[in-house]
A and B are shown apart, each in its own frame.
Chain A
Amino acid sequence: MPDIRDYEAMAKLELTDEERKWVSSRLDKIFESFEEMDDVNVADVAPLVSVLTPGNVLRDDVAERPVAREELLGRAPAQYDGYFEAPKTLE
Chain B
Amino acid sequence: MEHKAWSLGAVLLEDSIMEKGKPATAGSKILEGFTAPFDAAAVERLRERGVPVAGRVGMPEFGLPDLSGRGPESAPEAVEAVAGGKAAFALCNDVFGLYRSFAAPRGLCYLRPTYGTVSRYGLIPTAASMDQIGILCRDPREGLALLSVIAGNDRRDGAMLPGAAYRYEAPAASPVVTHFDPQALTVAARQAAVILGSAELSGNLSRYDGIKFGYRAKDYKNLGELYTKTRSEGLGLPAKLAVILGTTVLSRDYYEALYDKSLRLRRVIRNWLLGLLEDCDVIELPFDTLADEPGTHALAPLAGLPSLTCCGKNGGVQLLAGAGGEAALIKAWEEARQ
Contact = CB atoms under 8 A, between A and B. Distances in A.
A23 B184 contact: no
Given A11-B247, A37-B191, A76 B211 contact: yes
Contact of B210 (A47, A77, A88): A77
Interface string B219-262: 01111101111011001010011011111100101000010111
- Determine chain A's interface SS by DSSP, over half rule: loop
B247 A10 contact: yes
Nearest to B225: A87
A23 B251 contact: no
A71 B213 CA distance: 11
A67 B18 CA distance: 14
Interface stretch (B8-16, B136-144, B158-166): B158-166
Contacts of B237: 19, 22-23
A48 B251 contact: no
Given A23-B244, A42-B268, A49-B129, A57 B220 contact: no
Categorize the interface residue count of chain A. 35 or more
A41 to B, nearest CB: 9
A45 interface: yes
B290 to A, nearest CB: 13
B184 A47 contact: no
Contacts of A7: 244, 247-248, 251
B266 interface: yes
Nearest to B36: A75
Contacts of A66: 38, 156
A72 B37 contact: yes
A60 B25 CA distance: 32
A28 to B, nearest CB: 9
Contacts of B155: 57, 59
Contacts of A78: 216
Nearest to A43: B264
Contacts of B116: 51-52
A12 B160 CA distance: 32
Given A11-B202, A26-B68, A87 B216 contact: no
Nearest to A78: B216
A8 B194 contact: no
Contacts of B223: 86-89
A50 B157 CA distance: 14
Contacts of A10: 247, 251
A87 B222 contact: yes
A64 B231 CA distance: 32
Contacts of B228: 12-14
Nearest to A15: B240
A45 B235 CA distance: 36
Contacts of A11: 202, 231, 243-244, 246-247
Nearest to B115: A51
B34 A75 contact: yes
Nearest to B159: A52
Interface of A: 2, 4, 7-8, 10-15, 19, 22-23, 26-27, 29-30, 33-34, 36-37, 39-40, 42, 45-52, 54, 57, 59, 66-67, 71-72, 75-78, 84, 86-89
Interface of B: 34-35, 37-38, 66-69, 115-116, 129, 155-156, 158-162, 184-185, 187-188, 191-192, 194-195, 202, 206, 209-216, 220-224, 226-229, 231-232, 235, 237, 240-241, 243-248, 251, 253, 258, 260-268, 270, 303-304
10 contacts: A7-B251, A19-B240, A34-B258, A36-B191, A50-B129, A52-B160, A52-B304, A57-B155, A77-B213, A87-B226
Q: Nearest 8 CB-CB pairs, A to B?
A: A51-B304, A47-B263, A77-B216, A48-B267, A42-B264, A26-B68, A75-B213, A11-B247
